[in-house]
Structure 1
Amino acid sequence: MPRTAAKWALVAILVPFLLVGCASLDKARQIFEAAGQVCRIVDGVRQCVQN
């Protein structure tokens, strides 16, 4: 049962993106890229602290 719940959660997240359209998808992509950069920065800081 948890798997079906996860699938429905995924659908609930994806459907609004599909409804709103391509402009929002571009914004979402930019947000994900920014988040990825933040993650890389955090990883770099962590490595510096460990060393």
Structure 2
Amino acid sequence: MDPNDSRMRDLLAEHQMLEARLGDRSLYADAAELRRVSERLTELHPAIAAYT
């Protein structure tokens, strides 16, 4: 197995988890956590866009 495939699967899973977190209304009560989730999604976006 190519190590890059494993890493990409990990990034895709993390991206999906973070997107799901955005659907959780309780996240919006914690501004710092919302910022962390949003920033991480922004970091992942180029890799996800290139892969899909």
Higher relative contact order (CA 8 A, sep 6+): 2
The interval holding the TM-score normalised by the smaller chain is 0.3 to 0.5
- The higher radius of gyration belongs to 1
Query: Normalising to structure 1: TM-score of the pair?
Result: 0.45
